[in-house]
Structure 1
């Protein structure tokens, strides 16, 4: 029989047997790897389950526990039914039991570390907002810290969450992530507090969950682009948890899409392929060829990292074919960045990973030419890719010229750790040519 919210989970404690909480947590992590799941289980998590604090595990943990104890239901494991804990409630309900930080943090994909540090979390969430975007990122909603627990959440708050997402994307497209990372976290915290402590109708709950999930992806991307890969993984996992609990395939596809991109950048190409394939599975129901095109490019990037030239080429051909079907009303709003320039830029990255720097440079040059210069961040990104491809292809003078144009954008208009690290790699390849005037000037300007 399932435990009550305040009583210990005796059934789960009995299943642990003579193992210590730490030993049992290690067994959970091993079982997760056996079935391809990744959970951040530690002794603290086991203690929270056994105390009854966790009344129902998230889906990843449920799959792991069922693998460990075949034939056991959630009730047999001492948990309450999911619908009783996080399920849907009527419009008059004070809460729809939304995802909380304590439940969604266990979706982190790093299974070798403890759950995210509370100190780091607080430091991230309380960073000072920049004046240019502070008003929007604060969501424009009443501050729940000063509001009664039954604060009514409506369409005004939903629109504020959605507008925060749009503002982050707009400023990131133009200027890069570094200047936004801290203040964007405040908007995410407020969105989840709206879910956790507010009172709302079911239609508002659905839209608020979708908005919070998209916001988690946006914050994750800011972390990704500013070189904070561990934070990015955590926030993408939050979005995925929200998507699965809400039954939202569009949000799930987006979360997996970004997770695939991150895995590729972090040197985990096999994980990138799996995440891209999961994203494609979720996206097939959405009717957007352009989305499927982008996801095929994510798969191509992973396969290139594996050295799978044939698989990469097939994915690239599929991406081009799907892109050629044109835009539709079903294309997600967040895909506004995905045009011909991004298609060429991502193809360049795949060729570069395969070691074909000539083809990579051709596509990167095409991406620079196609990009609207108004979006300085992407112009710099494609220029940095071109710089690296030309340097690797043994064309240092051209590489220095391309890199100098990127330096013109960095600092004054664009702030992106990712772009700077790409130039760092190009500069290392150009050092043997540092006696050439153009190369010397480029290395001097970048202080390499």
Structure 2
């Protein structure tokens, strides 16, 4: 007769961690997710699997195991918790009917990730197990849904992604309020809700729905404060600064950027500090303090060259780099009326921009067209504007359409054949988009 598996070994097999190597990798991923990076030796894993009772892990390790399985480790065969452990709220493995709860959770949590998965990726669904508690695997699945939304927004703009993001936020909030989980997982779920709310705000901003954007950013900032997550707090303040400058409130934009910069300095990421310095520069430029704006742009460029120092930047700052700074320089020279200088930087921004950022490339090209027309290069400006139509067919963004309208109006004021032809073609396109 085969030897009966221990509780811990049964739980590992149910989660798909049937080998020691798989468990070690899952343990390290969970520890990183919880913000407490650590590893575990194969020897310890084997002892937990095969000794009865298994040796009690240290407090930090206990918390990671709790998060991995979504249940109190005492339900896995371990004896009393080690000193310093305060994690509570798990669902026992033997709870009746938990497989049903588990399947219900999966139908809730995986839907968004599967719905927005990129074309070249196959959505993964965690198989049902004997527990209905929410663990690390579920958080990763929900986070994968948000990551897919980020990729789709970068490529196509926020218009078509917005409704999916709002649904994903509703799903995360429903999990928070209706499911069982340890407090370590609870913090990750709340953080994910805050990050998703921030992305909903960004998508509304991109769609030019500023009232809704402000509301979602308020939700995200509340969550950042509640879970004490500095990175999310910085992101929201920097986003609100961007919005304030965009909506004609540069003084508010500057004050918000300064508040973000204060936190970013303590955070220690040069990339984040560079990003916020560029937001400060944008507000200062709109306030006509061009000398101070140039100084902040210079500092922003200096900081981006130090990306390999200090604290690594979070994923949300991945878009910030040379292309973004070239674009910021181009906007600054546009504000000062030096359109010929703006053209040079906007050309560089378009050349440097990664092609995965389809919405940004469309915005950069239209901004370049605007500056070309403004400095008298009408034929090339008209050609760039017309060429942007190929990108616009793939992009749904209120901000990009606003910039397109600006270019159409500018071309309409120029007495040149190329300008009139481009204006007519672009006007037809705008009307078709509005009709659709």
TM-score band w.r.t. shorter chain: 0.5 to 0.7
Partners in 2 of 1:186 and 1:220 — Cα distance?
Answer: 13
Instruction: Name which of 73, 89, 107 aligns with 1:93.
Output: 89
| 1:438 has 2:414 as partner | no
Instruction: Name which of 285, 288, 305 aligns with 1:304.
Output: 285
- Compute the RMSD of aligned alpha carbons: 2.7
| Inter-CA distance 132–322: structure 2 relative to 1 (3 Å threshold) | same
Residue 90 of structure 1 deviates from its aligned partner by 4.6
Residue 129 of structure 1 deviates from its aligned partner by 8.3
Q: Tell me the equivalent position of 1:401.
A: 383
Residue 314 of structure 1 deviates from its aligned partner by 1.4
| 1:257 has 2:238 as partner | yes
Q: Tell me the equivalent position of 2:96.
A: none
Please give the per-residue CA displacement for 1:64-83, whole angstroms capped at 9, x wherever unaligned: xxxxxxxxxxxxxxxxxxxx
Contact 1:400-1:439 within 8 A present in 2 as well:
yes
| Inter-CA distance 311–394: structure 2 relative to 1 (3 Å threshold) | same
Point out where structure 1 has 5 or more consecutive residues left out of the alignment: 1-88, 96-127, 143-149
Q: Tell me the equivalent position of 1:133.
A: 116
| 1:272 has 2:253 as partner | yes
Residue 447 of structure 1 deviates from its aligned partner by 1.4
| Inter-CA distance 266–175: structure 2 relative to 1 (3 Å threshold) | same
Aligned length: 318
If the length of structure 1 is used for normalisation, what is the TM-score? 0.66
Spell out the pairing of 1:8-407 with structure 2 (5 A cutoff): 90-93=86-89, 133=116, 152-327=133-308, 330-407=312-389
User: Which 4+ runs in 1 deviate beyond 4 A?
Assistant: 128-132, 138-142
Please give the per-residue CA displacement for 1:255-310, whole angstroms capped at 9, x wherever unaligned: 11111111111111111111111111111222210110000001111111111112
| Inter-CA distance 131–289: structure 2 relative to 1 (3 Å threshold) | closer
Contact 2:146-2:165 within 8 A present in 1 as well:
no
- SS of the residue 1:267 aligns to: coil
Partners in 2 of 1:262 and 1:326 — Cα distance?
Answer: 26
Point out where structure 2 has 5 or more consecutive residues left out of the alignment: 1-84, 92-110, 429-436
Partners in 1 of 2:115 and 2:330 — Cα distance?
Answer: 34
Contact 2:234-2:263 within 8 A present in 1 as well:
yes
- SS of the residue 2:409 aligns to: helix
- SS of the residue 2:148 aligns to: helix
Residue 141 of structure 1 deviates from its aligned partner by 8.9
Contact 2:339-2:375 within 8 A present in 1 as well:
yes
Partners in 2 of 1:129 and 1:429 — Cα distance?
Answer: 42
Please give the per-residue CA displacement for 1:1-29, whole angstroms capped at 9, x wherever unaligned: xxxxxxxxxxxxxxxxxxxxxxxxxxxxx
Partners in 2 of 1:431 and 1:264 — Cα distance?
Answer: 27
- SS of the residue 2:355 aligns to: coil
- SS of the residue 1:152 aligns to: coil
Partners in 2 of 1:129 and 1:320 — Cα distance?
Answer: 38
